[in-house]
Structure 1
Amino acid sequence: MLSSSTLFPVALLSADRRGDLSEDVYRIKAGNSPDPSVELAVTRLGLADHGRASGVPVILLHGSFSNRRFWYSPKGIGLGAYLARAGFDVWIPEMRGHGLSPRNRNWRHNRVADYARHDLPVIGAFVKEKAGQAPHWLGHSLGGTTLAAALGGRYLEAGLVASAALFGSQVSRVYWPLKVPPVAWSSRLLLKRFAHISGPRLKRGPEDEPIGLALESLRWHGLFGRFGDKKDDWWAGLASVDVPLLAVAGAGDHQDPAWACRKLFEQVGSEHKQFVCLGREHGFDAFGHVDMLVSKAAQAQVWPLVARWLRDPLQPLLGEPAAVSPAPGYS
């Protein structure tokens, strides 16, 4: 079978029509990860009657316990479908073991570090190859955190990122008991007994998450923890990032509160960046963690905001000048 890419092996799994939308599903097996069994499913959405998509490419990254259905339902409802109908070239990857992406051999040990260092660069390179231009990236929750890690670690080359948008993403919320070494040690020993955390059982979402993510989070929030891994300090690296940035928080989000989302936003050194808090103060509903993107209210209030951002990330979204900070650039 011929590969759908000249960069690495990519198989076209299906090409279907879903109402007014076209849905092409690719599976990438780049072989760039220490675990050679990793395969990633990426879905491309477009308008069925308009031939090959030619709009601005957008990559949507789902959060924890989730998959591509966060962005569009089987009935064609969701931000991904909305953007496709608005003329954007929409790409929806699914992280290892989620949705159509099979579980890799070392699935239980998967971490944000693996997604950021190995998977996002491959996805970005493939989308740019197919679309002919650098994609915009939008991540929700863990998807946004992973995007921030890839930017802070400089794993995503500048030519692979037209802009970045983080929705409900943060790494600064403090869990004080985890600062106590005996509590952290006992928590780590307890978690190591499990292979995964069940999203359906905990009513967090349709997918399970590998225990490696939880162990990684414990290290981030430990006494001397940092947002990074043994090799790289992602938090420090964010200060050198210089791509247009949008950070969005929900005033009613208790999982990833607005103050913590803003702290991540402020760490990024981009010259052009904007922070939006979805709350009544700015004329929005007091959105929570999920309904900021998946709800009828989001469809009316937030989705048009996203489309405006993607059409021109340099223009202020709320009628105010975009926040500007010094950007030292990549060293």
Structure 2
Amino acid sequence: MQSSSHLFPVALISAERRGDLIEDVYRLKPGNSLDFTVELAVTRLGLVASPDARGVPVILLHGSFSNRRFWYSPKGIGLGAYLARAGFDVWIPEMRGHGLSARNEAYRHNRVADYARYDLPAIAAFVREQSGQIPHWIGHSLGGTTLAAALGGHYLGVEQAASAALFGSQITRNFWPLKVPPVQWAGHFVLKRFAHFSGPRFKRGPEDEPMGIILESLRWRGLFGRFGDKKDDWWSGLRHVQVPLLAVTAAGDHQDPAWACRELFEQFGCERKQFLCLGREQGFTEDFGHVRMLVSKAAQVQVWPLVQAWLKREDVAPLAESTLNVSTTP
């Protein structure tokens, strides 16, 4: 393999023109975990009009049962395409076994811990090498949770993340039956027999999720569970994070409710952070839901410009003076 990087083997596996956008897909083989079969597909979006231009890099992390198409549809619609057209250098990774990323040998055992400890730092290093700048990160749902794990575990810091934006991400919403040990043990016994949870079959999304992710989530929510792995307490580690944070929740999100997203936001110790709720009471035209907060015509008009403003480091004042309910810490 002829590498496109000095860090580890990287191959450009696709280079296409999609309307006014350039879509380059890279395959990364970091070789930094115990499973050396891990390959990660990372898509870069640029402008046909200025193919060599390198704007501010932004990395977009999809959620569970999803892939790069959450950020960028085949018709060139999505937050990723919007940011590319605004001049940003957009990078969209797909987690192990999702989209163009092949299933690794230990696919069924993949966990957020693996994504946070191994994959995100490798992606950050590659994007920084290619762009020459520290990237911004945006994660939706499990993508945001993974980003929080990487920051709380100190696998990513100010040298790998210029800022972090979490959309519909939380880890403190508990299901009390899982606190009962026999229920948790029974669930673990049944689920561990399967390699994955089918997104298409259960109408959760276009992708499957490895069972390791499901079992890890059960452990977090168990009687003595915590947000972390055996070695690191990510929840406590969030207190020491210095990366600027934007946390966005949706008033109509019943999967990851606003109060739980707020708890995750409050745990971060960074000085510069903002919390935004997308709902009618805050001046929006609707109570956005878990997906519609980023994928809808209303989001294109009301939410995407706010993301662009955050990335461009505009002053907090324009947001605070609007009808939006934005909580900030100085």
TM-score, normalization by structure 1 = 0.96
AA of the residue aligned to 1:192: K
In 2, the alpha carbon distance for the partners of 1:244 and 1:297 equals 26
C-alpha offsets along residues 35-85 of structure 1, whole Å, 9 cap, x if unaligned?
A: 000000000001112122311100000000000000011000000000000
Partner of 1:56: 56
User: Which SS does the other structure have where 1:35 is aligned?
Assistant: coil
In 2, the alpha carbon distance for the partners of 1:209 and 1:314 equals 39
Partner of 2:320: 319
Task: Give runs of aligned pairs for residues 71-220 of structure 1, distance below 5 A.
Answer: 71-220=71-220
Judge conservation of contact 2:40–2:95 (CA < 8 Å) in 1.
yes
Judge conservation of contact 1:163–1:313 (CA < 8 Å) in 2.
no
Residue segments in structure 1 that go unaligned for 5+ positions in a row: 326-331
- Say yes or no: does 1:296 pair with 2:297: yes
C-alpha offsets along residues 164-192 of structure 1, whole Å, 9 cap, x if unaligned?
A: 00000000101100000000000000101
User: Which SS does the other structure have where 1:323 is aligned?
Assistant: strand
Deviation at 1:314, TM superposition (A): 5.7
* Identity between Structure 1 and Structure 2 (%): 75
Provide the aligned length of Structure 1 versus Structure 2.
325
Residue segments in structure 2 that go unaligned for 5+ positions in a row: none
In 2, the alpha carbon distance for the partners of 1:178 and 1:286 equals 30
Partner of 2:18: 18
Partner of 2:306: 305
In 1, the alpha carbon distance for the partners of 2:222 and 2:279 equals 32
In 2, the alpha carbon distance for the partners of 1:137 and 1:35 equals 25
Alignment root-mean-square deviation, CA:
1.2
In 1, the alpha carbon distance for the partners of 2:301 and 2:328 equals 25
User: Which SS does the other structure have where 2:159 is aligned?
Assistant: helix
C-alpha offsets along residues 191-223 of structure 1, whole Å, 9 cap, x if unaligned?
A: 011111000011111000000001000100000
Question: Alpha carbons of 1:215 and 1:314: their partners in 2 closer, same or farther (altered >3 Å)?
Answer: farther
Deviation at 1:323, TM superposition (A): 2.1
Judge conservation of contact 1:244–1:313 (CA < 8 Å) in 2.
no
Deviation at 1:315, TM superposition (A): 2.8
Judge conservation of contact 1:251–1:286 (CA < 8 Å) in 2.
yes
TM-score, normalization by structure 2 = 0.96
